[in-house]
Amino acid sequence: MSASVLLGISGGIAAYKTPSLVRLLVQAGFNVHIVMTRAATRFISPLTLAAVSGNPVFDDMWGDRYRPSIEHISLADAADIAVVAPATANIIGKIASGIADDMLTTVFMALQCPVLLCPSMNVNMYHNPIVRGNIDKLVLLGYHVMQPESGFLACGWEGEGRMPEPETISANIQQLLGSKDLEGERILVTAGPTEEPLDSVRFITNKSSGKMGVAVAARAAARGASVTLIAGPLKVLPPPGIKHISVRTAVEMRDKVLEVFSGMDVVIKAAAVADFRPALTESRKVKKENMNSSIQLVKNPDILRELGQIKRNDQILVGFAAETDDVLENGRAKLREKNLDVLVLNDVSKPGAGFDYDTNIVRFLHRSGEEEQMDIMSKDHVADLILDRVKKLRQASK
């Protein structure tokens, strides 16, 4: 049975981000139930949230059903985790004071599960001593409170007070709900494309978004692992609570990977590293009339092959392969030639698989010769399946 997330939405402008948060949670396999304040309904429609969650949305204690309402208890009992996003100064104050005067606060008074608050307000409100005191009180009571982000605020001020992005909140929820079955494991993940510059403004790259690698890093962290993410330019936010090393080129990625490799138990190479780079890179922009119509390329280092040559027997090495032709044959050859424990094979010609999708269709090729074909599923789900197989291999190596 999937875990149940109770999402409380209070009346702040950041409520407009909540459909994206709900979509991320649903894609990650959670059953999402939503409770709104009446003020929140002025910013985002309950109908929109019901559509993306697939569940009724509650914003009223009474309704028009002429019968006793106990939904506030049933919603609280069913929740594995409860979240308030955005959490305004008003709702934080009410929860801290034990006030239950609407559907949201009444449900939250009945909770017995972990609670995560995502503050969102004007910078001066966030630093008001009363608000800070309420947050400190809730932290002492065991509530989890995220740090708001800094930046331009809807009110025109700039500073702390922005609600964390949906991707960050989703990752935090998954960490709080994680089974911690990978606690103690040191996992290195690579993600994203590399960019190989021609001059100061032009470069060679590929279509990778980094979504798959970031999903692996996020799920590994949620399950208790100590995670290092070495990533090229990402189109998604890296998950919180991990060490993120940003690189640009294949050579930079190789150098950073080799710096930390010996201290890792598991390496999952999800990055789409460019195979070639320009032989000559100009430090300034080259005018088009001065450019040559042909570009001389040189091979980039094969990071995965190099790791396969130096890895210890107790280290697990997982590679990825994106193929369009002779998929199985190429995948089996890569598994063998690069000394991998597992290869995650993608036929990127299939709809819903490969670069920049939220889903993937993969086949696991194992050193043992076993092969597993998976149906289309979210990248979060694929990430957990990869980690399940890593966990089994690590247990066998000890």
Question: Catalytic site residues?
Answer: 155
Q: Are 395 and 373 in contact (CB under 8 A)?
A: no
- The residue to which tokens 């009339």 are assigned: 289
SS3 165: coil
- The residue to which tokens 């208890």 are assigned: 73
CA distance 150 to 163: 9
Beta bridge partners of 277: 298
- Alpha helices, DSSP H, located in the chain: 18-27, 46-53, 71-78, 89-97, 103-109, 123-126, 129-140, 166-177, 211-222, 250-260, 303-310, 327-337, 379-397
Instruction: Provide φ and ψ at 69, rounded to 5°.
Output: -105, 120
Tokens standing for 19? Answer: 């459909």
Q: Measure CA 380 to chain center.
A: 8
Q: Are 320 and 269 in contact (CB under 8 A)?
A: yes
How many other β-carbons are positioned within 10 Å of the β-carbon of residue 367?
A: 14
**Phi-psi region at 75: left, alpha or beta (left = phi > 0; alpha = psi -120 to 50):** alpha
According to DSSP, the β-strands at 377-378 and 359-360 are antiparallel
Q: Measure CA 350 to chain center.
A: 23
SS3 353: coil
CA distance 300 to 50: 49
How many other β-carbons are positioned within 10 Å of the β-carbon of residue 206?
A: 16
